Chain A
Amino acid sequence: MPAVKETIEDVRRLEADKYKYGFSTEIEQEFAPKGLSEDTVRFISAKKDEPEWMLNWRLEAFRRWKEMDEPEWANVGYPPIDYQDAYYYAAPKNVTKYKSLDEVPAEILETYEKLGIPLREAEVLLGVEGAENRTAAEARETPRVAVDAVFDSVSVVTTFRKELEKAGVIFMPISEAIREYPELVRKYLGSVVPVTDNFFATLNSAVFSDGSFVYVPPGVRCPMELSTYFRMNAQGTGQFERTLIIADKGAYVSYLEGCTAPMRDENQLHAAVVELVALDDAQIKYSTVQNWWPGDAEGKGGVYNFVTKRADCRGRNSKVSWTQVETGSAITWKYPSCVLRGDNSQGEFYSIAVTNGRQQADTGTKMIHLGRNTKSRIIAKGISAGRSDQTYRGLVSVHAKAAGARNFTQCDSLLIGDQCGAHTVPYIEAKTPDAVLEHEATTSKLSDDQLFYARSRGLDEETAVALLVNGFCREVLQELPMEFAVEAQALLKVSLEGSVG
C-alpha cells in the first residue's frame, strides 16, 4: 500500500520540531514566588485587587485541594508533577498605553503578527490612542470578531468593548468583572464546576490568574463572535484560566477560543476551567482550536492540558454546542460536558482530535440528561498517527425523570501507522423507559477500496488520501464557525502534513 506507507513517512517527517508556533517573546514579567502555598494564593489575589470574598473563595479551594489526590483513571502516562516547582502567576510588567504603534516594543508586535492578529486589532489590543474610534468605523465593513487576548496571565486590553456595551454585552477579563460586576460573578462562578469538582478544577479555583467573562443580557443576540487567544509565554508558568459565560434568557453568543504556545523544554501545566450557563431559550456556541506545543519527537516537553469545561443548560429550551479541534498538547485530559437540566434543552459535542509523535489524548464529553425531552448529539473523530495514543471517553447518563430523552453518539477512529493506539470508552446509563440512546463506534484505517476508487477516478495518491481524511472529519468541520474553519483546516494539514495533501 504505497499511499499509506507514504502517509506514515510524511507523518514521521512531520515530527514536532516543525512546530510552527514555537516562539517565545522576551519581555519583562512579574512573577509570584515559585511554588504553591497559601501565600501564593494571597499574592495572586492581592495582585488582582480582589475583594475579600474572592480571596476567601480561593483559600477555601486551596484548603480542599491539599486534601485531594491527583486522578489516575485516564489512559495517559506522565512523570509525577511537582506542584511546588512552578510559578503560579506571571504578568506582563508594562500595561501602559501607547501613543502610536511605533512605541510598541517590536517583539510584542511580532508575537501578534505570528498569531495572525491584524495590525488594527493589535492597536486596539495594545491600547494605542485613538485606535478604538478608527476601528469602530472600520468594523462596519470588516468581519466582526472581538478579541480578549490572554497574554500569559493578564488580559491586556479588551477590544470592541464599547460596541459590545452598546448591545449590553459584558465581555472583559474575569479579574475586572470580579471588581465591576461582583454580584454577577458571585452568583455564577463555581455554580457549574463546583470548587471541589476535581483535582485540577480545585487547583484552578485556588490560583486562577485570569480569563474571560461574558454576560449576554436577556433577548440579546451578541452582535459579533467573541474570541480569545491564549498564549503561554513565560518559562515554567502554569496557566490557570477561568472562563465564565452566561447567556441570559433568549440570548445568543458564539465564543471562539484559539491557542498556540511557544516552544520549550519543560512541561507546562495548564489547568483551565470553563463554565457556561444558558438560561431559558438561550444558546451558547463554544468553539476551540487547540494547538499547544506537543513536545518533541521523543515526547520531551509539551503542554499538559488538564481542562474542565462544563455547560449548564439551566433553562427551558436552552442549547449549548461544543466544537473542538484538538491537535496540540503532549497530554490532553478534557471532557467538555453538558448538564441538560432545563426541559427541552439540547447539548452538542463535535470533536476532531489528532495525535501524532508521542502525544496522548484522553478526551470526550459527558451529557447528563436531567430534564424532560432533552437531546444530545456527540460526534467525535479521532485520528492517531506516529506513536501516539488516543482515547475517547464519554458518558451519556439519562436520569429517571428525563422522560423523552434522546442521544446519538458516533465516535470514529482512524489509525495511521502501526505504532499508535485508538481507544473508545463510552459509558451509557439509562434510567428512564422512553429514552432512546444510540451509540456507534468504529475503528479502521483508510479504506483501500475508497483509495482505489478515488485513484481510478484520476486523483493522485496524495489528493485521494487528503480527500478521505477530510471526508472522515467533515461532520465536525462543517460545525465550525467561519472564522475558525480556515484555521482548523490549516491545523489538520500541519498536523498530518502530506496525508492531507
Chain B
Amino acid sequence: MGLPVKLNLYEEALLDALPDGEAAEAIRASGLPHRRVEAWKWSDLRTVLSRLPAKTGVMAARTPREADSEVLALPEPVSLPARLAGLLGGPAGMFVLKAAERFTLDVSASEGASHRALVIEVPAGVSAVLHERYALDAGAFANIALDIRLGEGARLTRIIEQDAAPEAVLVVTGTVTLASHADYAQTTLGFGAKLARIETHITHPGHGARVRLDSAYLLAEGLHLDQTSIVRHTGPHGVTEELSKGAVMPGGRGVFQGKIHVERAAQKTDARMNHRGLLLGERAEIDAKPELEIYADDVACAHGNALGELDAEALFYMRQRGIPEIAARALLTESFLAEPLERIEDEAIRDALLARLRTALEALR
C-alpha cells in the first residue's frame, strides 16, 4: 500500500516523545488511526487530533489509595492508543481490589496529550466495584489503557461515567481477562466529546463466567461517542449479554461497534447483543456495526439493532393526556435510556446515574 503518509504536527509531536519501536513505526507508516482504518471508520482520531494543540498535557488520575505495586510488562496492547498509553504513561500502577471495595478513579486532563496505563486486579472470590469518571478540559487528549483481571469466581461491577467534553478527545481502552466463574458487569453512561471512544476487549473463558456489557448515551450538538467492544469466547458454557441504548440530538453522532467472537471450543455459548438508538432531529447520526463471528455450531447467538425516532403513538397518547410535547419527549427519552442503567445491581450507583441522566435531559430541554 502506497507511500508513507505525511504526518501532521500532532503525530510529529507524538513521535518526538516515543522510543523507537512498533508504535513509532506504525505512526510513521500510516499515522494515527483514521477513517480508512476499518476499526476506526466512523471515528477519525487522526483528523480530530490534528485540530488540537500539539503539546503535552497533564492527566490527573485520582485514586482512593496508593498503588499496590508497579507493573513493567503489560500484555500485548490491543490497539495503537493502548500501546501509546503503555509507552508514554509512565509505570503502570497496579491495584489489587479488596473484598467489597468501592474503587473510584477520577480522571481529569488539561490541554495537550496525556497518557496513562493502569492495572486492576480482582483476586479470586472477591467482589468489588470500579467506578471511573472522566472530565476533560478543552484541548485535552486523554488516553487511558486499563488492564483488568478477574480471578476465579471474582465479581466486578465497572461503571464508566463520561462527562460531555465538546473540545476534548478521550480514548479509554479496557482489556478484560476473566477466569472461570468470574462475573463482569460493565455499564457506561456517556455524553460524548469532540471524539470519545470507549473500547473494551474481553476474553471470556466460558466455564460459568458471565459478562454484561451495557451502556446508555445522550449526545448533544457536536458530541461524538464511539463504543467499540469485542467479546471473545474461548471456552464452553459462557454467557454474554449486551444492551446499549442511545439518544442523539441534532449534530451529535453515536457509534456502536460490537463484536462477539465464538471460538470453536466455545460450545454452548449464549451471547446476545442489542443496540437501540434514537435520532432526535435533523443532522443526528448513528452508525452501528454489530458483528458475530462464530466458529462453534452448538451456540445461541443473536444481535439486534434498531434505529428510529420516538414512538409517535406514545407521544400522541401523552399529549392528549395533557402533557406538553417537550415534557413528553423528555419522559419518553428518559424511560428509553434508563433501561441499561436499571440493570446495575448496586443501588446507590444506579440511583446516582439515573439522577444524572435526568439532569442531563432537563438541561437539553
Residues of A near any B CB (own CB < 8 A): 69, 73, 400, 413, 415-445
Q: Of B109-117, B177-185, B293-301, B321-329, which stretch is located at the interface?
A: B293-301
B305: chain A residues within 8 A (beta carbon): 426, 428, 437-439
Contact A417 B297 (CB under 8 A): yes
Q: List 26 A-B contacts (CB under 8 A).
A: A413-B292, A415-B296, A415-B299, A418-B298, A420-B297, A421-B293, A424-B291, A425-B291, A428-B287, A428-B289, A429-B288, A430-B279, A431-B283, A432-B279, A433-B280, A433-B309, A434-B309, A436-B308, A439-B306, A440-B302, A441-B290, A441-B304, A442-B300, A442-B301, A442-B302, A443-B302
Contact B279 A435 (CB under 8 A): yes
Residues 274-289 of chain B, each 1 if its beta carbon lies under 8 Å from chain A, else 0: 0001011111111111
A435: chain B residues within 8 A (beta carbon): 279, 307-308
Give the distance to chain B from A417, nearest Cβ to Cβ, in Å: 6
Give the distance to chain B from A384, nearest Cβ to Cβ, in Å: 9
B38: chain A residues within 8 A (beta carbon): 73
> A172 CA to B127 CA in the complex, in Å?
73
B282: chain A residues within 8 A (beta carbon): 400, 432-433
A415: chain B residues within 8 A (beta carbon): 294, 296-297, 299
Nearest residue in B to A428 (C-beta to C-beta)? B288
Contacts known (A400-B282, A429-B285, A433-B281); A443 close to B306, Cβ less than 8 A:
no
Within 8 A of A (CB), among B249-288: 264, 267, 277, 279-288
Contact B289 A426 (CB under 8 A): yes
The 7 residue pairs across chains A and B that have the minimum distance between CB atoms = A415-B297, A436-B308, A439-B305, A433-B279, A428-B288, A424-B292, A443-B301
Contact size range, B = 35 or more
Beyond A424-B292, A429-B287, A433-B281, 5 additional pairs, beta carbon < 8 A: A415-B296, A418-B298, A424-B293, A426-B289, A426-B291
Contact B285 A441 (CB under 8 A): no
Q: Which of A69, A436, A440 contacts B304 (CB 8 A)?
A: A440
Q: At the interface, yes or no: B319 with Cβ under 8 Å from chain A?
A: no
Nearest residue in B to A417 (C-beta to C-beta)? B297
Q: At the interface, yes or no: B303 with Cβ under 8 Å from chain A?
A: yes
Give the distance to chain B from A360, nearest Cβ to Cβ, in Å: 14
Contacts known (A417-B297, A423-B293, A445-B298); A436 close to B307, Cβ less than 8 A:
yes
Give the distance to chain B from A145, nearest Cβ to Cβ, in Å: 39
> A428 CA to B287 CA in the complex, in Å?
5
Give the distance to chain A from B338, nearest Cβ to Cβ, in Å: 21
Q: At the interface, yes or no: B363 with Cβ under 8 Å from chain A?
A: no
Contact B285 A439 (CB under 8 A): no
Give the distance to chain A from B289, nearest Cβ to Cβ, in Å: 5
Q: Which of A69, A433, A444 contacts B301 (CB 8 A)?
A: A444
B296: chain A residues within 8 A (beta carbon): 415, 418
Nearest residue in A to B267 (C-beta to C-beta)? A418
Give the distance to chain B from A75, nearest Cβ to Cβ, in Å: 8
Contacts known (A424-B303, A444-B301); A413 close to B308, Cβ less than 8 A:
no
B286: chain A residues within 8 A (beta carbon): 428-430
Contacts known (A73-B38, A441-B290, A443-B292); A430 close to B302, Cβ less than 8 A:
no
Contacts known (A417-B297, A418-B297, A445-B297); A433 close to B284, Cβ less than 8 A:
yes
Q: Which of B1, B293, B294, B307 contacts A428 (CB 8 A)?
A: B307
Give the distance to chain A from B329, nearest Cβ to Cβ, in Å: 12
Contact A430 B306 (CB under 8 A): no
Interface hub of B267, B297, B302 (most chain A Cβ within 10 A):
B297
> A416 CA to B282 CA in the complex, in Å?
45
Within 8 A of A (CB), among B6-49: 38
Give the distance to chain B from A105, nearest Cβ to Cβ, in Å: 48
Contact B285 A430 (CB under 8 A): yes
B300: chain A residues within 8 A (beta carbon): 442-444
Give the distance to chain B from A362, nearest Cβ to Cβ, in Å: 12
Nearest residue in A to B38 (C-beta to C-beta)? A73
Give the distance to chain A from B255, nearest Cβ to Cβ, in Å: 10
> A431 CA to B296 CA in the complex, in Å?
36
Give the distance to chain A from B346, nearest Cβ to Cβ, in Å: 32
> A430 CA to B1 CA in the complex, in Å?
31
Contacts known (A423-B292, A423-B293); A437 close to B306, Cβ less than 8 A:
yes
> A433 CA to B280 CA in the complex, in Å?
6
B277: chain A residues within 8 A (beta carbon): 430
> A69 CA to B36 CA in the complex, in Å?
15
A427: chain B residues within 8 A (beta carbon): 287-289
A413: chain B residues within 8 A (beta carbon): 292, 294
> A438 CA to B301 CA in the complex, in Å?
17
Contact B1 A416 (CB under 8 A): no
Residues 127-147 of chain B, each 1 if its beta carbon lies under 8 Å from chain A, else 0: 000000000000000000000
Give the distance to chain B from A246, nearest Cβ to Cβ, in Å: 34
Give the distance to chain B from A286, nearest Cβ to Cβ, in Å: 27
Contact B290 A437 (CB under 8 A): no
Nearest residue in B to A424 (C-beta to C-beta)? B292
A431: chain B residues within 8 A (beta carbon): 283-285
A433: chain B residues within 8 A (beta carbon): 279-282, 284, 309
Give the distance to chain B from A26, nearest Cβ to Cβ, in Å: 43
Q: Which of B279, B290, B308 contacts A426 (CB 8 A)?
A: B290
Interface hub of A413, A433, A442, A445 (most chain B Cβ within 10 A):
A433
Give the distance to chain B from A499, nearest Cβ to Cβ, in Å: 13
Contact A423 B301 (CB under 8 A): no
Contacts known (A420-B297, A443-B301); A425 close to B289, Cβ less than 8 A:
yes
Give the distance to chain B from A182, nearest Cβ to Cβ, in Å: 38
> A322 CA to B294 CA in the complex, in Å?
26
Give the distance to chain A from B74, nearest Cβ to Cβ, in Å: 30
> A418 CA to B236 CA in the complex, in Å?
13
B294: chain A residues within 8 A (beta carbon): 413, 415, 421-423, 443
> A439 CA to B300 CA in the complex, in Å?
17
Nearest residue in A to B264 (C-beta to C-beta)? A418
Nearest residue in B to A436 (C-beta to C-beta)? B308
> A438 CA to B308 CA in the complex, in Å?
9
Contact A416 B307 (CB under 8 A): no
A439: chain B residues within 8 A (beta carbon): 288, 290, 303-306
Nearest residue in B to A4 (C-beta to C-beta)? B297
Give the distance to chain B from A406, nearest Cβ to Cβ, in Å: 9
Contact B307 A444 (CB under 8 A): no
Give the distance to chain A from B121, nearest Cβ to Cβ, in Å: 33
Nearest residue in B to A1 (C-beta to C-beta)? B298
Give the distance to chain A from B311, nearest Cβ to Cβ, in Å: 11
> A453 CA to B306 CA in the complex, in Å?
33
B284: chain A residues within 8 A (beta carbon): 431, 433
Nearest residue in A to B284 (C-beta to C-beta)? A433
Contact A400 B283 (CB under 8 A): yes
A438: chain B residues within 8 A (beta carbon): 304-306
Contact B287 A430 (CB under 8 A): yes
B302: chain A residues within 8 A (beta carbon): 440-443
Give the distance to chain B from A395, nearest Cβ to Cβ, in Å: 10
Give the distance to chain A from B244, nearest Cβ to Cβ, in Å: 13
> A400 CA to B251 CA in the complex, in Å?
12
Q: Which of A416, A417, A434, A441 contacts B292 (CB 8 A)?
A: A441
Interface hub of A417, A426, A428, A440 (most chain B Cβ within 10 A):
A428
> A429 CA to B300 CA in the complex, in Å?
26
Give the distance to chain B from A233, nearest Cβ to Cβ, in Å: 37
Nearest residue in A to B256 (C-beta to C-beta)? A428
Nearest residue in B to A445 (C-beta to C-beta)? B297
Nearest residue in A to B283 (C-beta to C-beta)? A400
Contact B299 A444 (CB under 8 A): yes
B306: chain A residues within 8 A (beta carbon): 436-439
Nearest residue in A to B274 (C-beta to C-beta)? A440
